[in-house]
Amino acid sequence: QSALTQPASVSGSPGQSITISCTGTSGDIGSRNPVSWYQQYPGKAPKLIIYEGDKRPSGVSNRFSGSKSANVASLTISGLQAEDEADYYCCSYAGNDRLLFGGGTKLTVL
């Protein structure tokens, strides 16, 4: 069982918006610790798309946005495109050199 809980799968149609949740505890996401999100295509290395909760690295589309409320971090993808179909992982620091990842969410673009 993963330390951070994500839905196993989400789906949406092109043009729609979807949100992937990442549920932690007061000791990790809820403690103002930095949260990051990664996109991973099959057989490829992950790619950073959100860091420190809501910041986008240079070159990442502004269709990707991150937010947090209490113990839940969220990744929203707006204007869904076929190329967004991938696995998405959340990550949160939990103090004392503990870095937690979620179990991953498979996004299907219908």
Which positions lie near another protein, rule CB under 8 A? Answer: 2, 33-34, 36, 38, 45-48, 51-52, 57, 89, 91-93, 96-99, 101-104
Least Å distance, CB 68 to another protein, is: 14
Shorter beta-carbon distance to another protein: residue 26 or 96: 96
Shorter beta-carbon distance to another protein: residue 13 or 59: 59
Distance CA 91, CA 99 (A): 7
Shorter beta-carbon distance to another protein: residue 48 or 72: 48
Least Å distance, CB 78 to another protein, is: 22
The number of C-alpha atoms within 13 Å of 42 and in the hemisphere containing its C-beta is 5
Query: Which string of DSSP letters, residue by residue, matches 41-107?
Result: -TTS--EEEEBTTTB--TT--TTEEEEEETTEEEEEE-S--GGG-EEEEEEEE-STT-EEEB--EEE
Shorter beta-carbon distance to another protein: residue 55 or 110: 55
